[in-house]
Amino acid sequence: MAETWPGTGLLLRSPAVELAPMTAELLDALALLLPDDIELDPAVPLPPGEVRAARREAYRTAVRRDREGFDPDGWKLHLAVRLPTGALAGVQTIEAERFAAERTVDSASWLVPEARGRGIGIRMREAVLALAFGPLAADAAITSAWRDNAASLGVSRHLGYRYERTSRLVTPERDGELVHLRLSRAAWLASGSGQDVLVTGARPELFGTGP
Ligand SMILES: CC(C)(COP(=O)(O)OP(=O)(O)OC[C@H]1O[C@@H](n2cnc3c(N)ncnc32)[C@H](O)[C@@H]1OP(=O)(O)O)[C@@H](O)C(=O)NCCC(=O)NCCS
């Protein structure tokens, strides 16, 4: 894996969190922190062996695959999340399909258990929304979560996402209801969120947008 993701030099900083594109070194460190309750990408089969080691390897494979497949027409950017102490706390992902036409981003995230429930999930999502609605000029952000994922739904609610619909989803790990939410550009701007997020090094052309 090359040393940095597309968007070299991108950095999202707020008083609460710092987000930087994954490097090979960060990926190794974060794979070691991968919590047992994080659902992995079902498109990447679990390699044989002890479960925790296999999950880490599948996670690394998925992130590397997203890096190699990064394309302005369909991209998935994984950002390492650091706390002001310098400690790595998790990963915030932002992604889009046909972004130039759709202008819509999706997101996913995880935190190590000891960092949860302290408002960090809100701050890291807010940081990528500042990138999306700022330099990338998105029109909307969508997200989805299992109906019982109160923390994920809480992050979205806090940032002003609105309920759209519920769907059924069957994965290798569960069969359940997924709640779909949406945040419009107008709602984001009206909320005043993201004002203390400093975005540097964004290159919109890499994401299929820009001047
Ligand atoms: C989802 C996740 C990133 C959220 O981050 P977090 O730091 O724990 O969440 P926050 O502390 O920012 O809380 C966000 C909101 O949800 C609420 N909340 C958090 N945990 C909650 C819980 N267990 N039950 C009910 N509400 C909860 C908070 O009160 C807050 O709402 P408010 O500010 O309006 O009061 C984190 O919990 C996590 O890593 N979970 C496991 C992985 C996962 O499920 N990822 C999402 C799927 S992609």
> What is the number of the ligand 1 atom nearest to the C-alpha of 112?
39
Give yes or no for residue 2 having a pLDDT over 70: no
Ligand 1 contact, 145 CB (< 6 A): yes
Look at residue 209 in the predicted model and tell me its pLDDT.
Answer: 87
Query: For residue 210, is it within any domain?
Result: no
Question: In this predicted model, what pLDDT tens digit does every residue of 10-54 receive, in sequence order?
Answer: 999 999 999 999 999 999 999 999 999 999 988 898 999 999 999
**The domain containing residue 161 runs over which residues?**
11-195
Ligand 1 contact, 113 CB (< 6 A): no
Mind spelling out the 3-state secondary structure of 71-85?
ECCEEEEEEEEECCC
Give yes or no for residue 97 having a pLDDT over 90: yes
CATH number, domain at 22? 3.40.630.30
Which residue's CA is the nearest one to ligand 1's atom 9?
121
The mean pLDDT of 63-89, rounded to a whole number, is 95
Look at residue 173 in the predicted model and tell me its pLDDT.
Answer: 80
**Centroid of ligand 1 to alpha carbon of 37 (angstroms):** 14
Number of domains comprising the chain: 1
Binning pLDDT at 50, 70 and 90, where does residue 1 land?
A: very low
DSSP conformation letters of 100-124: HHH-EEEEEEEE-GGGTTSSHHHHH
Burial 38-67 (b: 16+ CB within 10 A, else e): eebeeebeeeeeeeeeebbbbbbbbbbebb
> What is the number of the ligand 1 atom nearest to the C-alpha of 145?
47
Return the higher-pLDDT residue of 147 and 172: 147
Query: For residue 139, is it within any domain?
Result: yes
